[in-house]
Amino acid sequence: MSDAESQLDVRWPIGLLFGVIGFVVAAYGLLVPPEAALPASAENLDRDWGLVMLLFGLLMIWGGWTAGRRRR
């Protein structure tokens, strides 16, 4: 096995990390009313930024997956 085959693409763990954390934050934002988290704010920042993090994680996973397919 060569060095190129044994190396893990860094996009996979970063994507998984952001995906899991984004999912948890977005779920919290969807399940808990925004008044409970920040009484002075009418915006649901947890939901919005959780979805942004989830999208970023999915894009990183997709990038790692397509790069792995191109190497074969």
pLDDT of residue 5: 57
pLDDT tens figures, 17-61: 999 999 999 999 999 876 766 666 667 888 999 999 999 999 999
Q: What is the pLDDT of residue 6?
A: 60
pLDDT value, residue 68: 78
Spans of all domains in the chain: 8-71
- The rounded distance, in Å, linking the Cα atoms of 41 and 3 is 51
Q: Please check whether residue 71 is in contact with residue 40, taking contact to mean a CB–CB distance below 8 angstroms.
A: no
Read off the pLDDT of residues 52-72 as tens digits, 9 standing for 90 and up: 999 999 999 999 999 877 776
- Can you give the pTM of this predicted structure? 0.79
Q: Percentage helix, strand, coil, to 5, in the chain?
A: 80, 0, 20
Closest CA to 24 of 3, 44, 53, 45: 53
